[in-house]
Copies of this chain bind each other. A is one copy, B any other.
Amino acid sequence: MDEHQHRLTSYLAAYIDELVGNGVDEVVISPGSRSTPLALLFTHHHGVKTYINVDERSAAFFGLGIAKAKQKPVAILCTSGTAAANYYPAVIEARYAKVPLIVLTADRPHELREVGAPQAINQLDLYGKHVKWSVDMALPESSPGILKYAKSSAARGVSMALSAPAGPVHFNFPIREPLIPALDESTFTPGRRDKRVINGVRGLTTEMRDDLLRILREKQHGLIVCGPGVDSSAIDSIMAFSEQYGFPVAADPLSGVRSGLHSKGNVIETYDAFLKTKEVLADLQPDIIIRFGSMPVSKPLTLFLKGLPDVPYWVVSSGEEWQDPTAMATEFIYSDEGSFCHDLMAGAEVKDSGWLQKWKKANAISRSILQADDQPWNEGKAVKQLVEQLPEGASIFASNSMPIRDIDTFFFNNDKKISVHANRGANGIDGVVSTALGMSTGHTPLYLLIGDLAFFHDLNGLLIAKKYGLDMTIVVMNNNGGGIFSFLPQASDGTYFEELFGTPMDLDFSSAAAFYGADYQLVKEEIDLASALSLAREKKGIKIIEILTNREENVAIHRNLWNFVSQEIVSELKGNTP
Contacts and interface: CB of A to CB of B under 8 A. Distances in A.
Contact of A116 (B121, B128, B322, B500): B322
Contacts of A126: 128
Given A122-B129, A485-B33, A43 B427 contact: no
12 contacts: A33-B484, A54-B457, A81-B427, A82-B426, A95-B121, A96-B121, A114-B322, A116-B323, A126-B128, A178-B489, A179-B490, A463-B507
Interface string A162-201: 0000000000000000111001000000000000000000
Interface residues of A, number: 87
A445 to B, nearest CB: 26
A261 to B, nearest CB: 30
Interface stretch (A407-415, A511-519, A563-571): A511-519
Interface stretch (A86-94, A241-249, A554-562): A86-94
A488 B183 CA distance: 18
Closest A-B pairs by Cβ, 4 of them: A82-B428, A116-B323, A117-B325, A511-B515
Interface string A107-129: 00001101111111110111011
Given A463-B505, A511-B515, A515-B515, A500 B426 contact: no
A325 B112 contact: yes
Interface centre among A85, A93, A112, by most chain B C-beta atoms within 10 angstroms, is A85
A116 B294 contact: yes
Interface stretch (A267-275, A333-341, A491-499): A491-499
A302 to B, nearest CB: 9
A460 B460 contact: yes
Contacts of A95: 121
Nearest to A512: B515
A52 interface: yes
Interface in A438-497: 453, 456-457, 459-460, 463, 482, 484-485, 488-490, 493, 495-496
A44 interface: yes
A544 interface: no
Given A31-B501, A82-B430, A55 B456 contact: yes
A472 to B, nearest CB: 19
A254 to B, nearest CB: 13
A86 B57 contact: yes
Contacts of A33: 484-485, 488, 490
User: How many monomers of this chain does the complex have?
Assistant: 2
Contacts of A124: 129
Contacts of A496: 39-40, 43-44
B115 A52 contact: no
Interface centre among A82, A120, A179, A325, by most chain B C-beta atoms within 10 angstroms, is A82
A258 interface: no
B31 A457 contact: no
Interface centre among A92, A321, A505, by most chain B C-beta atoms within 10 angstroms, is A92
Contacts of A40: 490, 495-496, 500
A515 B505 contact: no
A405 B115 CA distance: 21
A525 interface: no
Given A324-B116, A325-B116, A496-B44, A86 B430 contact: yes
A528 interface: no
A20 interface: no
Given A43-B499, A52-B500, 18 more contacts: A33-B484, A39-B496, A40-B490, A82-B92, A83-B428, A85-B89, A85-B91, A86-B88, A115-B327, A116-B321, A122-B129, A124-B129, A125-B129, A459-B459, A459-B460, A509-B515, A511-B515, A512-B515
Given A57-B57, A485-B31, A515-B508, A36 B490 contact: yes
A19 interface: no
Interface in A72-89: 81-83, 85-86, 88-89
A503 interface: yes
Given A96-B121, A116-B294, A460-B459, A453 B54 contact: yes
Interface in A124-138: 124-126, 128-130
Given A88-B85, A460-B460, A427 B500 contact: no
Contact of A119 (B426, B509, B511): B426
Contacts of A81: 92, 426-428
A29 interface: yes
Interface in A37-60: 39-40, 43-44, 52, 54-57
A168 B178 CA distance: 34
B83 A500 contact: no
Nearest to A112: B325
Given A33-B485, A456-B55, A456-B463, A39 B430 contact: no
A503 B31 contact: yes
Nearest to A177: B489
